[in-house]
Amino acid sequence: MMLLILLIAFLIAANPATYRATRGVLGSWVASQEGTARMGGLLLHAVVFIALVMILKRVKRAVSPYHVEYMHAADDMDTIDGMSTKTQDTPYSL
């Protein structure tokens, strides 16, 4: 699944149409008219790629049924990673 996220983010960030659209908004320092990246555009799209990957990972984590948030509160010392560390109080019987 992570590979698919990386593929989608790369296809969005490295697409010549994306460079042309960015050129239309930010100017000619990003890319040529054909969509060929210039150095500034390459750096900009590298940052965009990293941001896309981070956003897509958060979206994947938010919708995943397997993601579990663990408690790490300083005031709750009786649990470690969601598991109780208390021993049971049981009467001794033989």
* Terminal Cα distance for the chain, rounded: 54
H/E element, 91: none
Spatial distance between the Cα atoms of 51 and 48, rounded to a whole number of angstroms: 5
Residue 47 confidence class, pLDDT cut points 50, 70, 90: very high
pLDDT at residue 26 greater than cutoff 90 = yes
The residue extents of the domains of the chain are 2-64
Measure CA 83 to chain center: 27
Taking the model in full, what pTM does it have?
0.59
Paired with 84 in beta bridges are 79
- Read off the pLDDT of residues 6-20 as tens digits, 9 standing for 90 and up: 888 899 888 999 999
User: Averaged over 18-44, what is the pLDDT?
Assistant: 91
- What's the pLDDT tens digit per position in 54-72? 888 888 777 766 655 544 4
